[in-house]
């Protein structure tokens, strides 16, 4: 549950200016946990392009994308990336919270929102990975019912290098697939 004054809603093209401001405001806060970004990423035009690409992936059914807002500010993102249907029926969770809004339950609320959305799409599981030393994110995932199932060596290119990640999953249901799936 979100604290009063916060909402989670679907990403829209009109979010680009607020996202650019949020990424500029949170650049140092997010830098250890994210890919190295080109300078253009932090601009209005860069966010227009990024949001446009994300919305195309949403329309294609490969991505679910939401923003966490407080007033006119974007104070977080939650995504359901790499949606795969068929016999896997899985997606990958990604999220971040503004450094000025930590400790308010926003990450947990965002993770729960993504899991609800994944379940509504008929997915079986949601996976997530964290850098080995991202203990705060690991606590969020564990509070939200994720279990660690392994460590992936050199899993993602983060902060300029291939980094090891702890892998987590949450099984959403064990219903059988229909014969037409």
- pLDDT for 178: 79
Mean residue pLDDT of the chain comes to 97
Task: Look at strands 147-158 and 161-171 and give their pairing.
Answer: antiparallel
Provide the token pair at 144: 């939200």
Q: What pLDDT does residue 1 have?
A: 84
| pLDDT over threshold 80, residue 180 | no
Q: Which domains does the chain have, with CATH numbers?
A: 6-171 (3.40.630.30)
CA distance 137 to 179: 38
Alpha-carbon gap, residue 114 to 94, rounded angstroms: 9
Instruction: List pLDDT tens digits, range 107-133.
Output: 999 999 999 999 999 999 999 999 999
């Amino acid at each position: 549950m979100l604290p009063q004054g916060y909402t989670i809603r679907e990403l829209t093209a009109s979010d680009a200016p607020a996202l650019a401001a949020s990424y500029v405001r949170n650049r140092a806060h997010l830098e250890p946990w994210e890919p190295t970004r080109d300078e253009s990423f932090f601009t209005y035009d860069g966010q227009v392009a990024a949001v446009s690409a994300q919305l195309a992936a949403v329309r294609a059914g490969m991505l679910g994308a939401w923003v966490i807002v407080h007033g006119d500010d974007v104070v977080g993102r939650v995504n359901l990336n790499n949606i795969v249907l068929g016999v896997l029926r899985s997606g990958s969770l990604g999220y971040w919270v503004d450094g000025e809004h930590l400790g308010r339950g926003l990450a947990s609320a965002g993770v729960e929102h993504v899991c609800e959305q994944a379940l509504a799409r008929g997915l079986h599981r949601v996976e997530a990975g964290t850098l080995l030393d991202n203990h705060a994110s690991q606590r969020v995932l564990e509070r939200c019912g994720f279990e660690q199932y392994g460590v992936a060596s050199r899993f993602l290119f983060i902060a300029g290098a291939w980094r090891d990640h702890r892998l987590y999953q949450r099984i959403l249901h064990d219903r059988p697939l229909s014969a037409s799936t």
